[in-house]
Amino acid sequence: MVEITHKSTSLRRAVAQATVLVSKQETIDAIVNNTVPKGNVFEMAKTAGLFAVKKTSDVIPDCHPLPVEFTGVSYKIDGLKVFIDVEVKTIYRTGVEVEAMHGASIVALTMYDMLKPIDKGIEVQNIKLLEKQGGKSDFRDKFRKDLTAAVIVCSDTIAAGTKEDRAGKSIIAKLEASSVEIIEYTVVPDEIEDIQRPLLKHAELGTDMIIYTGGTGLSVRDVTPEALLPLIDREIPGIAEASRNYGQDRTPFSMLSRSVAGVKDKTLVLALPGSTKGASESMDALFPALLHIFRIFKGARHD
């Protein structure tokens, strides 16, 4: 199955539709009047659909088992067609569109099976996805495309050239995936003035965000929080909490990170762990949803 452990848990919703076409009005009348010999078509088919949604991962090899929080089945009759809508919701790391489509198809097939003794001309048509919500795809085209960022790596060893930076480069890759322009990438030693200097410069320039990596642990050389906190106008604790909670699900050492998040003027300031994995996971936890902050800065209403 596809790797999804890097994804964040969120509300996922999908609506799928299938169509059953009968060949005569008498079949529709039998469904509506509950005179089909095999029983109540709508209720039996709905029950089959509920089972199908929950069993999707058992029959579709690449589907992940997931907690189904809600399934709804509804019908609409239009002439000789019965439209079946199946809505599925979960709070999980992956979507439920296949679950919804599987449910709709089984509802349709159950109707076919129940109606075939009285109608030999039934067709199952147009199994399709109508709606999908949740996950990073919801954020496409939601945010400005002119956002700028500076990435600052805090490390004595990398600044001295004895170690290669990978954390900063992973941050850059994830920012570029969110259409953020990188206007500076710098490595500085773990000294308070060296750490503060880029923040003061980019706050004055009006850079949208400055992201530090490194210097957020507990050793005597981890001074990034001490350097940044006096300069920040306002902390945003929820950002650091979201990053730490995401990391804690993946490694117990995340509790030791002293991540910093806040604003200086209208520049977003983030201090992330210095390890490649820690920096990458923090970015996965926060982006692209964190870009909504720039709509708040402008006083825009979030649609």
List the CATH number of the domain containing 272: 3.40.980.10
Residue 226 lies in a domain: yes
**What are the CA-CA distances from residue 246 to residues 7, 35, 98, 250 (Å)?**
9, 54, 26, 7
Residues of the chain with pLDDT under 50: 300-303
For residues 51 and 57, give the distance between their C-alpha atoms in angstroms, rounded to a whole number. Answer: 12
Per-residue model confidence (pLDDT) at position 303: 43
Start-to-end CA span in the chain (Å): 34
What value, to the nearest 5°, has the Cα angle with vertex 202 and ends 199 and 204?
105
Residue 4 lies in a domain: no
Is 113 catalytic? The answer is: yes
Domain boundary among 100, 135, 170: 135
Per-residue model confidence (pLDDT) at position 140: 61
| Same domain for 293 and 155 | yes
Question: Which of 58, 113, 156, 165 is flagged as catalytic?
Answer: 113
Per-residue model confidence (pLDDT) at position 69: 96
Residue 1 lies in a domain: no
Model pTM score: 0.74
* Of 163, 238, 165, 175, the residue nearest 208 (C-alpha): 175
Per-residue model confidence (pLDDT) at position 141: 59
The first and second tokens of residue 232, run together, are: 């920040």
| Same domain for 130 and 146 | no
For the stretch 185-209, pLDDT in tens is 999 999 999 999 999 999 999 999 9
What is the number of structural domains in the chain? 2
Domain span at 37: 10-135
Domain boundary among 86, 115, 135: 135
What DSSP assignment string belongs to 254-283?
GGG---EEEEETTEEEEEE-SSHHHHHHHH
Residue 2 lies in a domain: no
| Same domain for 163 and 76 | no
Residue 86 lies in a domain: yes
For the stretch 163-172, pLDDT in tens is 999 999 999 9
Domain boundary among 135, 170, 201: 135
Q: Which residue shows structure tokens 């067609």?
A: 81
Residue 302 lies in a domain: no
